[in-house]
Structure 1
Amino acid sequence: MIVHRSSPVACIRTGRYGHKRFDNEEPVAKCPRISESSGDAGLLGTSPGSPVSGTPLSATSAHQGPARIGQFLLLPLVDRVGVHSAWDIDNGEELVCKVFDMGQYQEKIRAYSMLLKHRNIAQIRDIVLGEHMAYVFQERDYGDMHTFVKRCKHVPEHQAAKLFYQAASAVAHCHQAGIVLGDLKLRKFVFSDEKRTHVKLEGLEDCRILPGEDDSVTDTHGCPAYVSPEILSGGGSYSGKQADAWSLGVMLYTMLVGRYPFHDSDPVALFSKIRRGTYCLPEGLSLRARCLLRSLLRREPAERLSATDILIHPWFHASIQDADGPEQEVGLTEQMVPQVEVEVDEQLFC
């Protein structure tokens, strides 16, 4: 992306966040090439609601290093496609920035205007409009849950309960507002604090906004490991909310066990396993955790718990209550367990 020097104009305020317009974007000296992350390359397909089908950045812009947009200095994040680390030169604040084509950005952020503020959903802080691109700024984060689970191998139940409750709460809030999230996975949730206790949904760019009460959708994009059986059946429309519930079940299983409930290096074999819906629950999980997993990872969509129902499941109360005892105070090094059964394959961990 070639950017040019320009002078800013006054900020135009609309709604809960502001729009600043810059006629052009200003370049900064190039840095050494940063390799692009493969990210979620194994998608079932793309749709207009998916970030990978839009044009967050040109093919070359990810390699050009930092760029200056108004008072912000942007540097692409190697592990998050279309996302930049942003530094406000005026006050030193660090943010994250998502870059969209001007013709798409309003549709990409439309869901934010439909939602009341929620503590577990990232909010838009500012928007800067360039000549060809729109720059959407949000609060910085401290890594995503995908990376966290990979490092920890698995998450103890009392800790997983606190994190998963927040994730399910964000999904339930969206569903109540008529928004289906679709491509749900651990990578979609990030930590807003250094201690990694507070989780938030990092974006709504690839969600589906329902026109009414009917939550039927037809999109078939998503990370293979998280996709629900009905999407693979090729039967046309399916319940978007119930598909989200399945993905939440995959998230919870992966947090507690340290691997996906369905995994195979061959996509055909992987999809066959998902269609059958059979998986193993290892020893050591509590009865309530097993109950919640079985209530989400069900082949029949209508039999799954809704996101709202998840929040009242007794596993949360029991796990948090059990954690009050001194025997539950376990350090991070003690949480690390050897990986003896399944070797983590980068291609399987989306």
Structure 2
Amino acid sequence: MNLNVQQLPVSVPTRKKKIDDGSSLEAPKSKRLCTKQSPSPGLAPCLHPVIQAFGSSDAEPHVAIIGQYILLEATEGTQTFRAVHRHTEQEFTCKVFSTKKYHDIISPFVHLPPHPNIAQIEEVILGDQNAYVFFRRSHGDMHSHVRTCKRLQEEEASSLFKQMAEAVSHCHRHGIILRDLKLRKFVFQDKGRTKLMLENLEDSVILKGDNDFLMDKHGCPAYVGPEILNSKTSYSGKAADVWSLGVILYTMLVGRYPFQDTEPTALFSKIRRGIFTIPDALSPRAKCLIRCLLRKNPSERLTASEILLHPWLVNNNTSFINTNAGPADRRTSDQIVPDIEQYEETDYM
């Protein structure tokens, strides 16, 4: 089966060769995509350790062969998979999209100049129905990290948040509004969990000019700004991203969202009022930055580039080393980040 390869910018490598393609990555019922693989002599060096990690010795695992990659178990939901290159044994993350949608998905990555805190697409393989987009392997996300630690010490939070702000600032400078910005979209590049990258640009918008006002209103309820809930007209996309950064920073330092409720209506009411409390244990500079980001009036918030000049980030500009210290001294029963997002993405029109 020949690929229906569409022309892509040269910055995104695309394989132009035959692959076995299908509409899903479920356990194989045909030989089109997922074929039950037995380690052949030629593939034994790279298949053997992968199989031992994925399946037991008495159960033959199902793997999908996509070009030069082996797709293994799903890592998030059903459309993100762990992948291994068949020859180099390097690990990747593979995200699967329909061929009808993948252009919209990868456009922000193509539009942005490279940045150390933003993921880069390594390769795209197109089939008749699916597009397989490969990224370098990550080592966990910030949402899970905050849940594990309960809350972060300021030195660690400053180092990580600065990288987040740099990624958002880079996007804004090049006309990208992220919209659905949250902790889960930032992943670790290293096992030491000191280097972050913004991996997910799937909900972003590419501006056509300097005007950053948007009409569509959707995102994760815990991170949405009050202007999105209050206004029936347009709103500043950049200011909305900054509000989301404020929610992220608060959650990192406090261990819970600034606005929480089990009922969406009550949650949105709290966000509209814009009233929140900051624990006294935080430093004055940390409190100041949180308040500068979570201002109810969008025009009064710092811009993403101004965040990087704030004293809390400038004066804490040291290399943080994660010592993997136990989180027991940071735990409080009433400050918990949910295991999963409480609500699905919502339209607010």
TM-score of the aligned structures, taking structure 1 as reference length = 0.81
Where do residues 172-191 of structure 1 align in structure 2 (5 Å cutoff)?
A: 172-191=169-188
Q: Which deviates further from its counterpart, 83-92 or 172-181?
A: 83-92
Decide which of 320, 325, 339 is 2:332's aligned counterpart. 339
Closer/same/farther in 2, CA of residues 90 and 232 from structure 1, 3 Å limit: same
Partners of 2:130 and 2:5 lie apart in 1 by 18
Q: Which deviates further from its counterpart, 199-208 or 244-253?
A: 199-208
Q: Is 1:193 aligned to 2:183, yes or no?
A: no
Q: Is 1:159 aligned to 2:152, yes or no?
A: no
Q: Which deviates further from its counterpart, 310-319 or 283-292?
A: 310-319
Sequence identity percentage: 45
Q: Is 1:287 aligned to 2:296, yes or no?
A: no
Decide which of 245, 260, 265 is 2:262's aligned counterpart. 265
Match of 1:101 in 2: 98
Decide which of 236, 243, 246 is 2:233's aligned counterpart. 236
Q: Is 1:147 aligned to 2:144, yes or no?
A: yes
Closer/same/farther in 2, CA of residues 230 and 329 from structure 1, 3 Å limit: closer
Partners of 1:9 and 1:302 lie apart in 2 by 47
Partners of 2:224 and 2:76 lie apart in 1 by 22
Partners of 2:339 and 2:92 lie apart in 1 by 28
Where structure 1 has 5 or more consecutive residues not aligned to the other structure, the ranges are 1-5, 31-63
Match of 1:42 in 2: none
SS in 2 for 1:261: coil
Partners of 2:92 and 2:324 lie apart in 1 by 30
Partners of 1:273 and 1:11 lie apart in 2 by 47
Deviation at residue 338 of structure 1 after TM alignment: 2.2
- Contact map agreement 1:12 1:18 (CA 8 A) in 2: no
Q: Is 1:316 aligned to 2:316, yes or no?
A: no
SS in 1 for 2:13: strand
Decide which of 9, 18, 23 is 2:13's aligned counterpart. 18
Deviation at residue 283 of structure 1 after TM alignment: 1.6
Q: Which deviates further from its counterpart, 64-73 or 281-290?
A: 64-73
SS in 2 for 1:87: strand
TM-score of the aligned structures, taking structure 2 as reference length = 0.81
Match of 2:295 in 1: 298
Q: Deviations over 1:42-79 (max 9, x none)?
A: xxxxxxxxxxxxxxxxxxxxxx9642212211134343
Instruction: Supply the AA of the counterpart residue of 1:295.
Output: C
Instruction: Supply the AA of the counterpart residue of 2:128.
Output: E
Decide which of 200, 204, 208 is 2:201's aligned counterpart. 204
Decide which of 107, 118, 121 is 1:110's aligned counterpart. 107
SS in 1 for 2:252: helix
- Contact map agreement 1:264 1:348 (CA 8 A) in 2: no
Deviation at residue 151 of structure 1 after TM alignment: 0.1
Aligned length: 308
Q: Deviations over 1:88-108 (max 9, x none)?
A: 112111000111111221121
Closer/same/farther in 2, CA of residues 13 and 209 from structure 1, 3 Å limit: closer
Where do residues 29-178 of structure 1 align in structure 2 (5 Å cutoff)?
A: 29=36, 66-80=63-77, 82-178=79-175
Closer/same/farther in 2, CA of residues 92 and 12 from structure 1, 3 Å limit: farther
Partners of 2:322 and 2:13 lie apart in 1 by 44
Closer/same/farther in 2, CA of residues 335 and 121 from structure 1, 3 Å limit: farther
- Contact map agreement 1:215 1:240 (CA 8 A) in 2: yes
Deviation at residue 11 of structure 1 after TM alignment: 12
